[in-house]
């Protein structure tokens, strides 16, 4: 446990002393719950259309694949045509693209960012390293199967996939969302214990609450 996360007595600006327990006070520890479609089928269909047409990607590049995401914003590929845009904060994003290899150190940040995103949320694994480790299959500090740690909706194979492949993957993801089959957030909530156990198996310096949003 890092010293700044330990319980301590803090003196406020008005001279009043109070106890701070960062893990409990600064994070919400409630585990995620399954949130099924709350409305009638026709409204849910409309929402699914809107979700598919408005994909906000979290601007978080984990590996070398991050460099393949950027050209999508440029005139050559122009992903904005497909309703895709990048958001700087996980709160507003729906789609997390794990772009390439994921080191254990980054996995920790990825989990925290993923948990801060709101339901429904989607994960796309970009590149072979997210499927089976790819060229990092015998590395000591990268994870091999992304699906063990986060619920993945779609994989894009290749090393590296070209931006066109990423664009095609996004179009494919839109079909999944429109069919109402992209329920990754609910799968994560359902199998929460299993995902946490897997995550804790590789992250040895676990110094955060089990669920932090």
Partner 1 sequence: MQFDWMQIPYSLLTLFIVLNYGMLLNALIAKIAARVGRRHGIPIWQNYADLLKNYGIRSSITHGVMFYLGPVFRLAGGVGLLLFVPTIFGSEMFSNLSFAGDLILALYFVFFGTLGMALGAGESGHPHAAIGVSRGLSQVTTAELPFALAVFAVALQYQTLSVTDIVAAQQGGFLNWTLFTNPFAVAAAMLGFLGSMMRPPFDVVLAPQEIPIGPPTEYHSSYLALMQTNRMIFPIAKIVVYMNLFFGGAASWPVFFIKVFFIYMVSVLVGVVFPRFHVEQSVRWFLVWAVPFGIIAVLMV
Separation between Cα atoms, residue 59 and residue 85, nearest integer Å: 9
Q: Please report whether residue 2 would count as binding partner 1 according to CB under 8 A.
A: no
- Assign 3-state DSSP to the chain and report helix, strand, coil percentages, each to 5: 45, 15, 40
Using rule CB under 8 A, residue 70 touches partner 1 = no
The CB-of-133 to partner 1 minimum distance in angstroms stands at 32
Q: Which of 23, 27, 47, 147 binds partner 1 (CB under 8 A)?
A: 47
Q: How far apart are CA 200 and CA 213, in angstroms?
A: 18
Does 81 help bind partner 1 (rule: CB under 8 A)?
yes
Q: Does 88 bind partner 1 (CB under 8 A)?
A: yes
Backbone angles phi, psi at 64, to 5 degrees: -65, -20
Identity of the residue, 117 or 131, whose beta carbon is nearer to partner 1 in the bound complex: 117
The single-letter DSSP state of residue 141 is S
Binding status of residue 118 toward partner 1 by CB under 8 A: yes
Q: Is 142 in the site for partner 1 (CB under 8 A)?
A: no
Is residue 171 part of the contact set for partner 1 (CB under 8 A)? no
Question: Least CB distance from residue 62 to partner 1, whole Å?
Answer: 18
For the chain, the distance separating the N- and C-terminal CA atoms, rounded to the nearest angstrom, is 19
Contact map string, positions 172 to 201, toward partner 1, x by CB under 8 A? -------------x----------------
- Does position 49 bind partner 1 by CB under 8 A? yes
Give Cβ neighbours of residue 173 (< 8 Å, ≥ 6 apart): 55, 95, 122, 124, 153, 154, 182
Of 111, 178, 113, 104, whose CA–CA distance to 143 is shortest?
A: 104
Residue 92 is a binding residue for partner 1 (CB under 8 A): yes
Collapsed DSSP state (helix, strand, coil) of residue 153: coil
Give Cα 89 distance to the centre of its chain: 12
Q: Which is nearer to partner 1, 118 or 141 (CB)?
A: 118
Q: Is 11 in the site for partner 1 (CB under 8 A)?
A: no
User: At a CB cut-off of 8 Å and minimum separation 6, what does 16 contact?
Assistant: none
Residue ranges binding partner 1 (CB under 8 A): 28, 35, 38, 46-47, 49-51, 53-54, 74-75, 78, 80-81, 83, 85-89, 91-92, 94, 118-120, 185, 213
């Amino acid at each position: 446990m890092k010293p700044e996360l330990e319980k301590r007595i803090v003196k406020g600006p008005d001279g009043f002393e109070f106890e701070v327990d960062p893990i409990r006070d600064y994070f919400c520890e409630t585990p995620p719950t399954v949130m099924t479609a709350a409305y009638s089928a026709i409204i849910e269909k409309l929402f699914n259309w809107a979700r598919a047409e408005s994909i906000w990607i979290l601007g978080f590049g984990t590996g070398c694949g991050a460099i393949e995401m950027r050209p999508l914003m440029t005139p050559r590929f122009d992903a904005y045509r497909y309703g895709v845009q990048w958001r700087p904060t996980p709160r507003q994003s729906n789609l997390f693209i794990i772009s390439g290899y994921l080191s254990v150190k980054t996995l920790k940040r990825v989990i925290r960012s993923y948990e801060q995103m709101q339901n429904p949320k989607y994960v796309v694994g970009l590149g072979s390293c997210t499927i089976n480790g790819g060229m990092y299959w015998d590395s000591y500090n990268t994870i091999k199967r992304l699906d063990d740690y986060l619920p993945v909706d779609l994989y894009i194979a290749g090393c590296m996939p070209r931006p066109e492949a990423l664009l095609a993957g996004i179009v494919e993801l839109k079909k999944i969302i429109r069919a109402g089959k992209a329920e990754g957030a609910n799968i994560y909530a359902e199998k929460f214990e299993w995902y946490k156990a897997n995550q804790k198996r590789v992250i040895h310096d676990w110094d955060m609450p089990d669920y932090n949003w």
